[in-house]
Each structure stands twice: as structure tokens, then as C-alpha cells.
Amino acid sequence: MLRTPSRRGLGLVVASVILALAWGASTPPRPAAATTRVELIRTGDVAEADALLAALGGFMELQSADRIQARVPAAALPMLHRATRLVHLDQPGVFVPLQALAASTLVGADQWVEGGLTGRGVKVAVLDTGFAGYEDALGSTLPNSVTTRSFRADRAVEGTTDHGRRAAEIISSIAPGAELYLVTFSTVTEMSAAVDYLVAQGVDVVSYSIGYIHNGPGDGSGSVDRVVSRSLGSNMAWAVAAGNWAQQHWAGTFRDDNRDAINEFRPGVQQLTHYFNGGDLVSVSLRWDDQWGSACADYDLELFSPSGALVRASRDLQDCKGNPVESIQVLATESGNYGARVIRGNSAPPRRLDVVFVGSPDRGVGINIPVPGGSLGSPADHPDVVTVGALTNALVRSEAPYSSRGPTADGRAKPEIVAPTGISASGSETFAGTSAAAPHVAAAMALMREAMPGITRARLTSELQARGQLLPAVQDGSPGARRLDLSSTAGIGPLLPPEWERASLIGSLTDGSKMAAVRYQGPNGFPVRFLYRLSGGREIVGAWIYDRAGNRWQGFVMGSANAPDTIDRLSDGDMLVIILR
């Protein structure tokens, strides 16, 4: 519904209409099918922004926090550039689902599952662009029931990719008791609304295998990073794929030995080259070290075909306005080596450049002069997510050469953890890359959250790293990450005691009753948190036992952290009062 703008807002709308008329339109543009989707950062009142969009012939699709997703006629874009008192056009950067079933033995999780930990009671979300085939996987590689929600404009959960479904299958194979949420998005604004939903649902862990190239300065402060930051107050933990661009990335200070304004990627070499097949989506993005939002140094980006013809150029003017980014996306019309070059557009001092040159599908081909360091996307650069790199394989336990890594723009080492990838449990095509590594860590987080109720996000990260095995430093000199390892040699937390299968509760658990007096029979040391295994499927809320020696009752509330004077484990013959849901 269109809300009535304030007098100031109405003035802005009238001014916009006058601009439109002066620009050559006989009447203000009207909503039409031929519109362009834009993402905006709101700097003014939402009602005024709504009225501005309507005056320009557009409409608001979605609003989340300070973000607006809208559709407008292409002719209205110049006006949106000028309406800075109300909105700023956002530049989300290049959006790439990363490539990536899982053998839990590779990370030691099998011992946790055999010991009773399955992620029960932990909510894990896979936030992705599509879950094609998930309905057919229910009850086999996925649980019988999952929660789904789409924030895409087309409201599709399956989308056009099975990328998210495969990540969810990895989580289900390692933490089969976790409650799965499959949530889709396709823009940063849709992601923002999705994250608000996950916070409202009380989700504990997010698995995120999507990467944005040059979405921000690279220090964890970009627009995608800000969306992640909004969720952290709820103690939500994120496992984020590092990216697969280490061999498709170049970084260095602008160099122009022959003074022709063209960057030399090394002495005498003015082009980065990358092989693509005809029909591949070619993406090349340039970022330089300048003030985000008010860049003064101006650089341009050009893409050339295998025959040497200019395919496309990105020549936005940076005159102390806008972001220090230029990017190109185009379909390859022929197979061969495509070339990218960087042109200096003004006399500002040389800046440090950062180029990512990738294709979709990713065929694993690197560029001619790769520089792996600093190849992270967003939100893998966020300081409070667990960034996950890819393990070379089960035998060669090192960071895979293609796995993106830090340092971040502000000097932090990333990733924190590397995990397995490229494994299929069903004989189908394998899921590879850091996309597969991230859900391994998300599943490990679910197991640990069940084992340690109430654990904070920060402690969860440190526990993962403490259990991990330190890998050698990578070839560019960055500190080595830690390999995900939950095996018993790393200390695995509370598990069921030997012969736990003979444990039982003796007494009456009448259907519909909310309280029951029972006697525990079985091996000593049975954790109270696993009483649900002995209740015939009834949900146990809490348990109390009478301590004869201390002449007092001691209790345990399911899903809570252990407090003083609470019971933790049972001994044969203990009498309990249990509360059932």
C-alpha cells in the first residue's frame, strides 16, 4: 500500500517528476513489465522512498532493515542516482554459488553419533539459492521433514539449482538429529529478510556456501557482512565457505613502466588470461584500495575475446563518489583464452588492485598469474563467522590450492577451519569445493551445541579450533588453518557409556501424562540429556532426582546449560520424577 509522504517527501517526489519531464518523458514513467530489479540502501523515510519509486514508475518488492529491493524502468536509474537524500543504489558485487555426500568418519563425527550425539534439538539452516530435488530426498538423504521458506521474488524453494540440497544432505549425514531449515534467496535484500526470519525462528547454526565478490572493502564491513552482523546478537553461529578463487585471483599495486596507463600484472604483461568454454558465464571484477562510497582514484576494466576483440568495458567514473569497484559479466561466445586488463583513469596515486576472474560453471582453470592471498569473498571476510576452506583430500591433508584464503584487507588470517569436500555417499555426481566443506563444519557445530547446551558462538569457534589439527602454512606464507577433527583423540565431550543399549526407565509413562515417577536401570554414567532415548518417543522437558545423602532434590532442564546442583548423569537404581511435553 502506498503511504502518504511527508511534506518534505512530497516535495522530493514532485522534484523527481519535474526531473523526469525535463529529461524528456512526456509523463512520469508507469509500472510496467519491462522493469529492472535494483537494490537500494535507504537513507531517508521509508514512506518517502516508496513515493519516490511510485513517481518514477516503479514499486517496492521487499524491505528489510535499511535495504529496499524494487523494480523500476531502466530509464529511471539516473534519477535514483540523484536521489541520495532518500536512497543509494547498492552495488552487491558479483554473486557466485560456490561449487561443492559426506563421510562423517573423515572428521571424527561418527564417534559422536555412535555415542549418542546427533544434533538433536539444534536448528540448522542452509541459506542458499535453490534446493532442487529436496522433496525426493526426504526420508533418504534428508530427514523425513524439513522446514522450507523462500524469500526469492518468484517464491521458489527449489530454484534452478540443487546446490543448497546437497549442502543440506551433508549436514543430515553428519548430524541426523538436527532440525533443518532450507531457505532460499537471490539478492542481498532477500538474504537480509531471510536472516531476520532465521533469527525469529531461533536458528542456532547457518551453513552458507555462497560468495559475493567485492561486496565491500574486504575487511568484513560490506553490505552482506552487515546482514550477518545483525544476526550475531542471537548467538547464531555461521559456517561460511571461503570461496574457490585462490587460483583465479590477482593482487598487487598498479604498475605502469611504459606510462601508457595500462596496469602490468608483472613486468611486460598487461592482461590476465583465463580459458573459458563457449556458453560459460564470464565474471571479472576489479577492486582497489580506496574509500568505500567516495572513491577518488579512477580505474577502468576491459575484457577481450580469444581473438583479441574488445568484448565489454566497465568505465564508471570515480570522482570521489561511488565505490572503488568495476565489474563485467558476459556469456562467452567462443572457447579460448579471454583477457582482462586494468586502465588508470586519472592521476590519483597508484592504488593496490584486486582482481577476481572466474567462470560459471567453475571448471577449475586458473588465470595466468594467480596470487592466492587475499582471495576471500563476502561474508567469508567477516570477523565473527567461521570461514571454511577445502581440504585437498582425505590422504593429502592440506589446504586445497583452489581454496580462497586471507589475509583480509585489515590483515586477519582466514580460513579458521578446512574440511573435506568432493565425496558422494550415493554414487551420484560429487559435490566439491568449499561449498561442501562449509556444511561439514555447520554439522560439527550442531553436534557440539547439543553436547554443550548454552555454548556461546565465540566459545564454539574456539572449541572447533582446539579440536582441529594444525595444517602447514600455505604457499603464500599465510598461517596454516586447522583441519576439522572431532575424533576421540581431540576430546569429544559427553557420550553414552558402554552398554548403554541395556538402559531403561522402569515405571509408567502413560500417554497424555505430563509427569511420571520412574526408576533408571542400566550402566552408571548415563547422561540425563539422553533420557529421550529411553522414553518411547515422548519428549522429556526435565528430570529431578532425590539426593538422599544431601537430603535435597536436584534437577536438570533439557537444552539448558548445566548449573550448580544439577544432575548430569544417572546411576543404576536412581529414582526420578520426569516432566514430559
Q: Are residues 345 and 262 in the same domain?
A: yes
The least confident of 100-109, 308-317, 360-369 is: 100-109
- State pLDDT tens for residues 506-564: 887 766 778 888 899 999 988 887 888 888 777 888 888 877 777 778 888 876 655 55
**Residue bearing cell 589446504:** 399
pLDDT band, very low/low/confident/very high, at 486 (cuts 50, 70, 90): low
What is the Cα–Cα distance from 433 to 421, expressed in whole angstroms? 6
What is the Cα–Cα distance from 541 to 529, expressed in whole angstroms? 10
CATH code, 328 = 2.60.120.380
Residue 408 domain-assigned (yes or no): yes
The least confident of 30-39, 278-287, 518-527 is: 30-39
Q: Are residues 508 and 380 in the same domain?
A: no
Q: Are residues 108 and 218 in the same domain?
A: yes
Distances (CA, A) of 485 to 181, 286, 501: 25, 37, 27
Output b/e per residue, 468-482; b: 16+ Cβ within 10 A: beebeebeeebeebb
CATH code, 193 = 3.40.50.200
Q: What is the pLDDT of residue 252?
A: 97
- Looking at the predicted structure, is the pLDDT value of residue 275 above 90? yes
Q: Are residues 346 and 399 in the same domain?
A: no
User: When comparing pLDDT for 12 and 98, which is higher?
Assistant: 98
- Residue 160 corresponds to which cell in the numbers above? 534452478
* 372 cis-preceded (ω within 30 degrees of 0): no
* 306 cis-preceded (ω within 30 degrees of 0): no
What is the percent of the chain where pLDDT is above 90? 51
Amino acid sitting at position 435: S
* 407 cis-preceded (ω within 30 degrees of 0): yes
Which of 467, 490, 513 delimits the end of a domain? 490
User: When comparing pLDDT for 531 and 22, which is higher?
Assistant: 531
What is the Cα–Cα distance from 89 to 437, expressed in whole angstroms? 34
Local structure of residue 148 (DSSP, 8 states): E
Residue 333 domain-assigned (yes or no): yes
- Looking at the predicted structure, is the pLDDT value of residue 286 above 60? yes
Residue 366 domain-assigned (yes or no): no
The least confident of 68-82, 99-113, 185-199 is: 99-113
CB atoms within 10 A of CB 544: 19
User: When comparing pLDDT for 299 and 41, which is higher?
Assistant: 299
- Looking at the predicted structure, is the pLDDT value of residue 104 above 50? no
- Residue 579 corresponds to which cell in the numbers above? 516432566
pLDDT band, very low/low/confident/very high, at 491 (cuts 50, 70, 90): very low
Q: What is the pLDDT of residue 29?
A: 39
Q: Are residues 148 and 189 in the same domain?
A: yes
Please name which of 482, 473, 479, 460 lies closest in space to residue 388, comparing C-alpha atoms: 482
Residues 6 or more apart in contact with residue 345 via CB below 8 angstroms: 261, 298, 299, 300, 315, 317, 318
Residue 369 domain-assigned (yes or no): no
Residue 367 domain-assigned (yes or no): no
- State pLDDT tens for residues 351-395: 999 999 999 888 889 999 999 999 999 999 999 999 999 987 654
User: What phi-psi label fits residue 279: left (phi over 0), alpha (psi between -120 and 50 degrees) or beta?
Assistant: left
Distances (CA, A) of 96 to 126, 215, 387: 16, 11, 16
Residue 368 domain-assigned (yes or no): no
Q: What is the pLDDT of residue 397?
A: 60
- State pLDDT tens for residues 372-382: 999 999 999 99
Q: Are residues 58 and 77 in the same domain?
A: yes
Domain residues for 119?
97-245+376-490
Please name which of 70, 104, 89 lies closest in space to residue 425, comparing C-alpha atoms: 104
**Averaged pLDDT, 266-288:** 97
Residue 370 domain-assigned (yes or no): no
User: When comparing pLDDT for 512 and 138, which is higher?
Assistant: 138
What is the percent of the chain where pLDDT is above 70? 81
**Averaged pLDDT, 430-435:** 80
Q: Are residues 350 and 399 in the same domain?
A: no
Which of 428, 462, 490 delimits the end of a domain? 490
Number of domains in the chain: 4
Environment class of 42 (CB within 10 Å of its CB; exposed 0-12, middle 13-18, buried 19+)? middle
- Looking at the predicted structure, is the pLDDT value of residue 124 above 50? yes
Output b/e per residue, 15-39; b: 16+ Cβ within 10 A: ebbebbeeeebeebbeeeeebeebb
In the predicted model, what is the mean pLDDT of the chain? 83
User: When comparing pLDDT for 424 and 84, which is higher?
Assistant: 84
What is the Cα–Cα distance from 508 to 580, expressed in whole angstroms? 12
- Residue 6 corresponds to which cell in the numbers above? 511527508
- Residue 107 corresponds to which cell in the numbers above? 572428521
> Positive or negative CA dihedral for 163, 33, 191, 330?
positive
Give the pairing of strands 179-184 and 123-128.
parallel
Strand segments (E) across 56-116: 59-64, 67-72, 87-89, 94-97
Amino acid sitting at position 105: T
Which of 442, 472, 490 delimits the end of a domain? 490
Residue 388 domain-assigned (yes or no): yes
Q: Are residues 206 and 69 in the same domain?
A: no
Rounded to 10 degrees, what is the CA torsion of 496, 499, 502, 508? -30
Q: Are residues 318 and 282 in the same domain?
A: yes
Q: Are residues 70 and 216 in the same domain?
A: no
Q: Are residues 29 and 120 in the same domain?
A: no
Q: Are residues 384 and 419 in the same domain?
A: yes
